[in-house]
Structure 1
C-alpha cells in the first residue's frame, strides 16, 4: 500500500477516495468492475489504522466478505469478517447484510458510535439492495444504521443505473439531493463477449463446456467460471467436469475451502462451477473466461458475473 509505484486507476477513483477520506457526507460511486472500487475504502482504513476508527462494510455475500477480509489482511489493514467467531480490534469490519441487521451487530455499532469510533458505513455492490430485495428481507432493514447519527455513507457498484441508484438511496433513508455522485464509463475493452447458440444443451453440455475451457485456459494461472441458474445444475456439472463447486446451499466451510482452492489454483482447481452466490465482487485476477449455461437472470447479473473475467487487465472472454 505504501509502495512508490502505487497510482490511481482513474480520475473517478481518486475523487471517490478523496471524498471518503473526508469522513463526511453521502457518496454514491459507480465504477466498472476491475476499476479498483475496493481501494475507495481500503486506503482510508489503511491510513486510519493507528486510530480507533472502524469502517463498516456491508456486503451481500459471504464469499465477498471472506475475499475482502483476506485482501485487507494482505495489505496490512487490521480487519474482521463478522460471523467468523473471531472478535478483535479492526479498522475494517466486513458483514453480510443478514448478519448486520441482527441485534448483536447493531448493538456493536451503537457502542462504536457512542465512542465516536465509526469512520463510515460502506455498502459494497449496493445494486443488490434493489435487485435482490424480493427474496432477501434483511435488505429493507439496512436503513436502521442511518438512524445512528451523522455518519458518512459510501455506496459502491459497478452496474447500478440512475433509477436503481435513487431507489437504494431512498430505501436507506439517505436524501438523494445531498449525495455526491461519481460515475465512470463501465465498458471493459479487454473482455470479448460471445453468444454460442446451442439447440440441445442438455445432451452435449459437458463436452461443449470442456471444449470452450480448453481454448481459453492456456497457462497454470488461468481460471474460468461457469455460471448455472440452479444449484442442482452446479452440482451435476461440477462433478462431470471434475471442477470446484460453489452455491448458497453448500455449508459455509465447504464454500470457504472451495473458494480458497480456486484462488490458489493447481490441479483440479482452475475451474469453478457456481451459482450467482459467486457473482459479485470476488477478485481473482487471472480469470480468462466466464461461461453462462443458459441466459443470465438479468442484465445486471450478467454484467456482474462476466465482470469477474479479465480483472488483471489482460484479454478475457465472456460466453453465453
Structure 2
C-alpha cells in the first residue's frame, strides 16, 4: 500500500514527500471508513482526498461551503492533469447544469455545496453513482454553522446514509473538543472514527493586538502600517460596508493597490478579484469571512482583523492564511471596546428570526404559501428542516437559543485573548486543549514587548535570502512597529 501511495504521489502530483499529517490521513482513509483529519492551515489538506481517490473505485464527492473554494479546488486538480472534475453550483447556467447531470457518471471528482446536494434532481443522479469516497471539507462548519446558518450542514449524515457511502473523510484546520464531538455526532452519527490531529501552532506567525479608541485611529494605523510594511496583506472586516470603506480609505490615502471582497459582489466580480490577489496584482485585499477558505496563496505577509473576530476558531482559520510559504508573517487585531456590538446585534437578530418563525408556522397549516410570502430564506430552511427531519418547532427554538449562548461564550473567549497580558500563543493552544513544550523565540507582542520600540518596516523576501528562517524572523520582527 505504501508503495502505491508513493507512486501516485510522485507520478500524479510530482511530490517526493508528504507534509505532516497527509500520509497518515491517506493511509487511514484507504484502510478504514470514518476519518476526521485536523491539520493546520497550509498543510495541503486537499491532497488527503485527491490522492486516495486514485486508489479507490468510484466517484469522490467533495462537499465544500463556498463556490470560490470549489472552483479553486477544481482548477488545482486540472493543473495536475485531471480532466474529470466538475464544480457544481449556481455559477452553472441551466444548460450547463443539464449537460453535467447527463454526463455525471463520467466524472471522478464532483465538488458541490450542501444546498446543491439536497436538490432532488441532483440527488437522483448521484444515487445512481458508485460513491467511493465522501469528503466534507471545512468540516468545522458542521458544528459552527448548521441550524442558525445554512442548516443543510446538519443534514449531511442523512445523505451519506441514503447513498450507502462506506468511506467518509472530514477535513478541517481547527476543532476544539466540543467541535470534534459535534462532528462525530452530527456527521458520523456517533460512530467510531479514526482521528488524525496535528497542532494548531503556526510557529512563523507573530501575534499582536493593537487597542485603539476610535474608527479614525484604526484607519490612521492602517494607513501608516500598510504604507511601510511589505505585503501582500489581507484585512478582514465584519461587514460588507466596512470592507468597502477601508478599501476606499487606503486607496485614497496611500499608493497601494487595494480591492474589497464580500458576498454582495457577483460571482464574476469575486472571481476576478481573487485572481488579481493570487497573481500579486493587489497590495492589500480587504474582505469579509467570505474570502479565504482553501485559497492557496503562500506569500501573504500579514493578516489584520479590523474588528475582533467572533471566535478563536475563526481567528485561527483566518490568521492562518498568512505565511504558508513558511516565512515570517504577522497577525494583528485592531480592537476597540465597541467592536463586540456587531456580534451581539447578529445574535439578537437570530433570536428575533426564530421567535417570528414560531409565530408564523401555525399559520402554514391552512395556507402553505405563507412560506414564500413571509418567511426569510433562513426561515424557509428551518421550515423544510422541521418537516424533513421531524423536528418540532420547540426543538428548533431550543437549538437556536443554545447556539446563541455558545456564540456569546466564544466571543467572550476571543475577548480573553485580546485582554491577556500573558503569552497569546499559549492562550490559543490552551483553547484547543494543547500545551506548548518549547518557548518560541519569536512569539507575540506580550512575549516581546521591546519590539514596539522599533519603527515599522519589513525587508523583502529577496533581500533576506542569506538568512536562515529564524534569523530572518528576528530581523523582520525587529523592524515591525
> TM-score w.r.t. structure 2 length?
0.60
Report how many residues are paired. Answer: 303
Residue 280 (1) aligns with residue 293 (2): yes
Aligned to 1:143: 157
Q: Structure with the greater relative contact order (CA < 8 A, sep ≥ 6): 1 or 2?
A: 1
Q: Is the 8 A contact 2:37 2:169 kept in 1?
A: yes
In the other structure, the counterpart of 1:62 is 67
Please give the alpha-carbon distance, in whole angstroms, between the structure 2 residues aligned to 1:280 and 1:273.
15
Deviations 1:197-249, CA, capped at 9 Å, x for gaps: 1121x1143332132223432xxxx4211000111111211222232221112
CA distance in 1, matches of 2:283, 2:135: 32
Report the structure number with the largest CA radius of gyration.
2
Gaps of at least 5 residues in structure 2 are: 1-8, 252-257, 334-481
Which residue does 2:113 correspond to in 1?
96
Moved more, 85-94 or 253-262: 85-94
Q: Helix, strand or coil for the counterpart of 1:120?
A: strand
In the aligned structure 1, how far is the partner of 2:72 from the partner of 2:175?
22
Q: Which has the higher helix share?
A: 2
Structure that is richer in strand per residue: 1
Pick one of 225, 228, 244 that aligns with 2:237. 228
In structure 1, how many angstroms separate the alpha carbons of the residues matched to 2:305 and 2:227?
Answer: 16
Q: Using the alignment, how far apart are the partners of 1:98 and 1:55 within structure 2? A: 18
Unmatched runs of 5 consecutive residues or more in structure 1 = none
Contact 1:77 1:92 in 2 (8 A): no
Alpha-carbon separation, structure 1, partners of 2:111 and 2:15: 28
Structure 1 residue 52, shift from structure 2 partner: 6.6
Q: Distance in 2 between matches of 1:7 and 1:25?
A: 24
Which residue does 2:82 correspond to in 1?
77
Distance in 1 of aligned mates of 2:127 and 2:316: 36
Inter-CA distance 5–165: structure 2 relative to 1 (3 Å threshold): closer
- Residue-by-residue CA offset, 1:242-266 (whole Å, 9 max, x unaligned): 3222111222221111111111122
8 Å contact kept, 1:101–1:141? no
Query: What residue number does 1:259 align with?
Result: 274
Does structure 2 conserve the Cα–Cα contact (< 8 Å) formed by 1:29 and 1:156?
Answer: yes
Cα deviations by residue, 1:296-318 (Å, 9 ceiling, x for unpaired): 11111101110110111111111
Looking at structure 2, the residues matched to 282 and 5 of structure 1 have their Cα atoms a distance apart, in angstroms, of: 20
Residues 1:105 and 2:114 aligned together: no
Q: Distance in 1 between matches of 2:241 and 2:291?
A: 15
> Any residues of structure 2 matched to 1:31-180 within 5 Å, and which?
31-45=39-53, 47-48=54-55, 53-78=58-83, 79-83=85-89, 84-85=91-92, 86=96, 87=100, 89-112=106-129, 116=130, 118-133=131-146, 134-147=148-161, 148-176=163-191, 178-180=192-194
CA contact (8 A) 2:57 2:132 kept: no
Taking structure 1 as the reference length, the TM-score comes to 0.88
